[in-house]
């Protein structure tokens, strides 16, 4: 998928990448088109492999240039040029910053201007609404007081924004309601702890919200790092839900208050999650799963499963354990 919002500012060659990674230059110096995840990378792109979890993506990838470490070197098929590094993700952050130097910082949008409602069809607005560049608003929308729609936002038809909403780098479908205080599309909390300073991970993705979605009050939804953060059609989020970068939530899910999703977790369709549950990063939850309130999900959950507790287990096993504990109290 072509990046809609972040644009490359320089042409990058292989030796440019090797230089920022403190590696020796190569005689064959060729142009590298972009940096992408394995499932999206093409022949002229550079990608990376940092875990065996992603070997299936590698098998189906067209990539010919890859960043990896010594441990995973032998997993790379012949014909793919390898750049060996001690820390894959740190190197990916460095290379991404080379392609997209403006992706690290999220300073406020200094180019916003007061909205002109006459430019939009049947738009209802409150007071003190500011718009940045590259903003599109569909017909029959309503925007509450003190909203700031920063650069690179597309809002579909029949949408409602409550008061004090901030949007950036986001695509919002039709018939979607975003309640007061939601902040959507800011950079995620990706970083690498260092001895001298913490190093930020660039975020060049966006937030994509489907049709007929409801986003509760004070939700925070981070944009993706290399891919996008996605909320599927018909999904409802209660108040104070946090969704980290690259999270993919399916269709018609119901997620109640104060649930937190760590980065790159994938949620199926029609999933129900109780209040204050926590979802660890890089895990997959299948379709029709029900997760009890206060649960901690730290591993994959298959479809059509009910879980509860910490760590979250099959709800029948959880209840049996609780009954046994009651006997010995």
Closest CA to 302 of 268, 254, 256, 265: 268
* Of residues 264 and 328, more confidently modeled: 264
Mean pLDDT, the chain, whole residue set: 92
| pLDDT score, position 328 | 46
Which residues carry out catalysis? 245
| pLDDT score, position 322 | 72
Average confidence (pLDDT) over 124-148: 97
Average confidence (pLDDT) over 292-311: 96
For residue 311, give the DSSP letter: T
CATH 3.20.20.240 fits 113-318, yes or no: no
Distances (CA, A) of 306 to 297, 298, 301, 321: 12, 15, 9, 15
Which sequence spans correspond to the domains of the chain? 12-99, 113-318
Question: What tokens does 249 get?
Answer: 């939530």
| CA–CA distance, 203 with 103 (Å, rounded to integer) | 6
| CA–CA distance, 307 with 202 (Å, rounded to integer) | 34
Q: How many helices (H) and strands (E) does the chain have?
A: 4, 36
Secondary-structure breakdown of the chain: helix, strand, coil percentages, each rounded to the nearest 5: 15, 25, 60
CATH of 12-99, one of 3.40.1390.10, 3.40.50.300, 2.60.120.10, 3.40.50.10800: 3.40.1390.10
Question: What tokens does 78 get?
Answer: 């012949």
Element (H, E) at 320: helix 315-327
| CA–CA distance, 262 with 241 (Å, rounded to integer) | 11
For residue 145, give the DSSP letter: T
Asked if residue 257 has pLDDT above 90, the reply is yes
pLDDT in tens, 6-20: 766 678 999 999 999
| pLDDT score, position 326 | 60
Asked if residue 323 has pLDDT above 80, the reply is no
pLDDT in tens, 18-63: 999 999 988 788 999 999 989 889 999 999 999 998 898 898 899 9
Question: Phi and psi for 146 in degrees, rounded to 5?
Answer: 60, 30
Asked if residue 1 has pLDDT above 50, the reply is no
| pLDDT score, position 325 | 58
């Amino acid at each position: 998928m072509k990046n809609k919002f972040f644009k490359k500012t320089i042409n990058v060659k292989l030796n440019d990448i090797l230089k920022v990674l403190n590696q020796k230059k190569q005689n064959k110096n060729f142009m590298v088109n972009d940096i992408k995840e394995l499932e999206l990378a093409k022949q002229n792109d550079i990608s990376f492999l940092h875990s065996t979890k992603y070997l299936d993506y590698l098998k189906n990838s067209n990539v010919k240039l890859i960043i990896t470490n010594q441990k995973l070197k032998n997993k790379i098929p012949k014909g793919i040029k390898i750049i060996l590094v001690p820390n894959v993700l740190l190197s990916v952050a460095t290379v991404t910053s080379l392609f997209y130097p403006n992706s690290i910082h999220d300073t406020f949008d200094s180019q916003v201007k007061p909205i002109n409602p006459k430019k939009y069809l049947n738009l209802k607005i409150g007071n003190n609404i500011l718009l940045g560049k590259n903003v599109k608003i569909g017909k029959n929308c309503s925007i509450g007081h003190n909203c700031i729609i920063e650069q690179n936002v597309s809002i579909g038809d029949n949408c409602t924004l409550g008061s004090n909403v901030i949007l950036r780098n986001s695509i919002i479908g039709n018939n979607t309601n975003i309640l007061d205080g939601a902040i959507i599309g800011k950079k995620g909390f990706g970083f690498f702890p260092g001895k001298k300073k913490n190093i930020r991970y660039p975020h060049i993705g966006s937030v994509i919200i489907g049709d007929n979605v409801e986003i509760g009050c004070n939700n925070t939804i981070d944009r993706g790092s290399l891919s996008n953060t996605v909320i599927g059609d018909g999904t409802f989020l209660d108040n104070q839900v946090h969704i980290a970068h690259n999270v993919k939530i399916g269709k018609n899910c119901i997620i109640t208050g104060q649930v937190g999703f760590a980065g790159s977790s994938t949620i199926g369709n029609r999933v129900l999650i109780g209040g204050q549950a926590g979802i660890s990063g890089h895990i997959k939850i299948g379709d029709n799963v029900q997760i009890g309130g206060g649960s901690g999900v730290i591993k994959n959950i298959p479809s059509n499963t009910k879980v509860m507790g910490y760590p979250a287990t099959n709800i029948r096993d959880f209840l049996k354990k609780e009954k046994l504990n009651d006997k010995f109290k």
